[in-house]
Amino acid sequence: MLEPAPMNAVYSFAELQNWPAATMGETPAIRLGVFGDPVAHSKSPAMHNAALQACGIDARYCRLHIRAGELEAALRLLPEQDFIGANITIPHKAAALAAVDEADDYSRQSRAVNTVVVRDKTLVGFNTDGPGLVRAIRADFGADLRDLRVMLLGAGGGAGRAIAVQCVRENCERLVLVNRTFEKAKTLAEELAPFSRAARLEVLPIAQLLKTHLENTDLIINATSVGMNPDDPPLLPASLLSPHLMVYDTIYTTHRTPLLNAAEEAGARAANGLSMLLHQGALSFEIWFNRDAPIDAMREALLS
């Protein structure tokens, strides 16, 4: 008789192929998981297992270490192994879009899938990052993204693209795309321009950012990876920031990022990416189970 795997176990593709044997003795059965590489750090199992328990759903959620060459086959195993669905994280979100049978408009436009649901043996893809950010901004700042003039730092990355697409879909009053590699932000702006009705779309290299650019901004979003390490330099100095600003850092490390410290020093309101993580997870839960997510239990699990 096999010992049940510990809650923080990481399963491999080979184990997914032999799921009944790999998870023998697991109760409730593991029918959800997050695919990533690396994945050992993921907070999603804590958040989703708390949600499943709070709702009395007889299923569990695990980490799956899936390498790039294994993604499509791993997704195809989900119906066979009786999964409800899965989350997809770094570096697979773009490849997952190509692998699913259907995808919603937002995931196609953001070119990324972070949530898969098994419906009648087919794989349907969604991206909850942008809608999760909308809920996070409302929860942290009591403001609607659609009413804000947004400056997005890191418009060249995957998270930056998802957020930029969401801002355009919300018809944000103003959207300034800022990136270290200017060409990437420019290409994204050209692509989004035909969809941008109310939004005034501008592009700026990060090195040329001046205080005047921030006068017509309500919300700064950091979607770069700068700040993941506590020794990173602040992305923007406090001298550029003002008390009228809201500063949202998508990074959700336990340390306060240098950008959030700079925001606090400038008297601006600031929040980190934990709320985006929470709300994108809650939206995944809603997709899998077609019911509201137990947000308090999920938040508590993330904070413990």
- Least separation in angstroms between residue 134's CB and ligand NAP is 12
- What whole-number distance in Å separates Cα of residue 130 and Cα of residue 132? 5
**Closer CB to ligand NAP, 27 or 254, in the complex:** 254
**Closer CB to ligand NAP, 19 or 288, in the complex:** 288
Q: Which residue is nearest to ligand NAP (CB)?
A: 157
- Least separation in angstroms between residue 23's CB and ligand NAP is 27
**Closer CB to ligand NAP, 184 or 299, in the complex:** 184
E strand or H helix that includes residue 35: strand 30-36
**Closer CB to ligand NAP, 193 or 228, in the complex:** 228
Both tokens of 83, joined, read 């999964």
- Least separation in angstroms between residue 87's CB and ligand NAP is 11
Which spans of this chain sit near ligand NAP (rule: CB under 6 A)? 90, 129, 154, 156-160, 179-181, 184, 206, 223-226, 228, 250-252, 273, 276-277, 280
Which of the residues are catalytic? 93
In 3D space, the residue among 150, 169, 87, 84 whose CA is nearest the CA of residue 119 turns out to be: 84
- Least separation in angstroms between residue 136's CB and ligand NAP is 8
- What whole-number distance in Å separates Cα of residue 73 and Cα of residue 90? 17
Tell me the CA distances in angstroms from 267 to 92, 204, 218, 234, 240, one per residue in order. Answer: 38, 25, 14, 16, 12
Question: What count of other Cβ atoms lies within 10 Å of the Cβ of residue 101?
Answer: 13
DSSP letter, residue 181: S
